[in-house]
Amino acid sequence: MASLNVANGKIDVAGGAPISVSVHRKVFPPVGDRAAQLVLKDISFEVAPRSFLVITGPSGCGKSTLLNIMAGLDRDYDGSVDLGPARDRLAFIFQTPRLLPWRTVYENISLALPDGDPRQSRIAAMLERVGLGQAMNAYPERLSLGMQRRAALARGFILEPEILLMDEPFVSLDEQTAQSLRDLLLELWHSHPTTVIFVTHDRTEAIQLGTRILRLAPGKASVVQDVTIDLTEAQRHDRAAVLAEQNRIFAA
């Protein structure tokens, strides 16, 4: 298994097989009066194991479509995705937390695992870790959206995935709650190293989280920018450093 070394706040990634993505064309067929739409064209990239790739760009540029293709949820495209041996250890955290309302928080996490799986014994600790120790026997309707998203993080990380796909998981939260969830995600990622592919339209979030950013643009159907983010953990929490990086990247 690859190792993750955290030294001086920087993350060095080593070992494992990269993910390889090559989408020649993704076209949505015509719907009603709407003509067929070319959404993705000639997109090829590799993702290093244990890296944190952010796919960003404005609404409608094709971020979710690309993520769904990578997840195998959309197979109607021209191209190929090779997740390597990690393909069997994949988790997906969606924009909506997707908790079953008739199950407690604990049961929602438990249902993600087979009966008798040794990871079942780690659920309570994981819920403590994400700040839901007091809420594990509550039903989702009693939780705030931020707490539901903590539960979704717990359900994703309890699987100990090799690949974690996340589609705008912190959207529609107030900034303080979103920031606390971003901090939690980075903590979980450091202690449970995995390849993360994270979709967001939020440029600040992209820079705070990613080790690399792929930017899509509306109407282009392809990657317009592919940049490495080389910030320390301290810099990721420093507004001025994030803003400077934001100007460097997105002004280009």
Ligand X SMILES: Nc1ncnc2c1ncn2[C@@H]1O[C@H](COP(=O)(O)OP(=O)(O)OP(=O)(O)O)[C@@H](O)[C@H]1O
Residue 194 near ligand X by CB under 6 A? no
141-180 residues in contact with ligand X (CB under 6 A) are: none
Q: Is 201 in the site for ligand X (CB under 6 A)?
A: yes
Residue closer to ligand X, measured from CB, 119 or 201: 201
User: For ligand X, which is the closer residue by CB, 70 or 186?
Assistant: 70
- Least Cβ distance, residue 203 to ligand X (angstroms): 13
Residue 167: CB minimum distance to ligand X, A: 8
Give the SS3 label for residue 135.
Answer: helix
Least Å from the CB of residue 193 to ligand X: 27
Minimum distance from CB of 64 to ligand X (Å)? 3
Please enumerate in sequence order all residues whose Cβ is within 8 A of that of 50, keeping only pairs 6 or more positions apart, or say none. Answer: 2, 4, 11, 13, 14, 15, 16, 193, 194, 195
Q: Which of residues 1-40 bind ligand X (CB under 6 A)?
A: 28, 31, 37, 39
Q: Nearest approach, Cβ of 8 to ligand X (angstroms)?
A: 35
Interaction between residue 97 and ligand X (CB under 6 A) = no
Please say which residue, 11 or 178, places its beta carbon nearer to ligand X. Answer: 178
Give the x-and-dash track for 46-75 against ligand X (CB under 6 A). Answer: -----------x-xxxxxxx----------
Tell me the C-alpha distance between 171 and 202, whole Å. 9
Nearest to ligand X of 61, 188 (CB atom):
61
Check residue 139 and report its DSSP letter: -
Using an 8 Å Cβ cutoff, are 225 and 252 in contact? yes
Residues in contact with ligand X, total (CB under 6 A)? Answer: 13
What is the DSSP code (8-state) at residue 213?
E
Considering the complex, state which of residue 122 and residue 220 has its C-beta at the smaller distance from ligand X: 220
Whole-Å CA distances, 247 to 107, 175, 223, 241, 242: 44, 20, 18, 10, 9
Cβ nearer to ligand X, comparing 193 with 210? 210
Burial of 196 (0-12, 13-18, 19+ CB in 10 A): buried
Closest CA to 65 of 182, 233, 199, 183: 199
Considering beta carbons, is residue 167 or 245 the nearer one to ligand X? 167
Q: For residues 106 and 84, what is the distance between their CA atoms, to the nearest angstrom?
A: 32
Nearest distance in Å: CB 31, ligand X = 6
Alpha helices, H only, 92-238: 105-110, 123-129, 145-158, 175-191, 203-209, 233-236
- Distance between CA 231 and CA 94 in Å, rounded? 27
User: Which residue from 198, 197, 189, 142 is spatially nearest to 170, judged by alpha carbons?
Assistant: 198
Closest separation in Å from C-beta 130 to ligand X: 25
Residues forming contacts to ligand X in the complex (CB under 6 A) are 28, 31, 37, 39, 57, 59-65, 201
